[in-house]
Amino acid sequence: MSPSQKYEIWLQLIRQEATIAEVAAQEHVDRSTIMRIRTVAKEGALAALAASKPGVGARQRDYELEQAQAENARLGEALKQMAVKLMLIEGKEGWG
């Protein structure tokens, strides 16, 4: 059976449109197969609901990352300033 067929079976059972015995006879399978589909669907739905977080969650701030990025920006600016000073002191010909 495809996942969509199993889902439809689960919906029939949830809506009480058919009993386990009726669905088993309709699908030509054993009742234990239908009971297993129902159990797996229920467990899967509960696990998915437990893992889901409704709404848009606030992103937790990573303070260490923010500090590292600020330090990186500060060091980058210092390096640029030092390169300009070196170029003014030695001239371009000292670089090549």
Overall residue count recorded for the chain in this entry: 96
Helices and strands, counts by H and E, the chain: 4, 0
Does the pLDDT value for residue 49 go beyond 70? yes
Q: Can you tell me the distance from the alpha carbon of 13 to that of 20, in angstroms, rounded to the nearest whole number?
A: 7
At residue 15's C-alpha, the angle toward residues 3 and 54, to 5°, is 70
Comparing 38 with 57, the larger pLDDT belongs to 38
- Give the domain ranges of the chain: 3-50, 63-95
The dihedral through the CA atoms of 81, 85, 88, 90 has a sign that is negative
Pairwise CA distance, residues 84 & 91, whole Å: 10
pLDDT per residue as tens digits for the range 53-91: 776 655 677 888 899 999 999 999 999 999 988 888 887
- Using CA of residue 64, residue 68, residue 71, residue 77, what is the dihedral sign? negative
The answer to whether the pTM exceeds 0.85 is: no
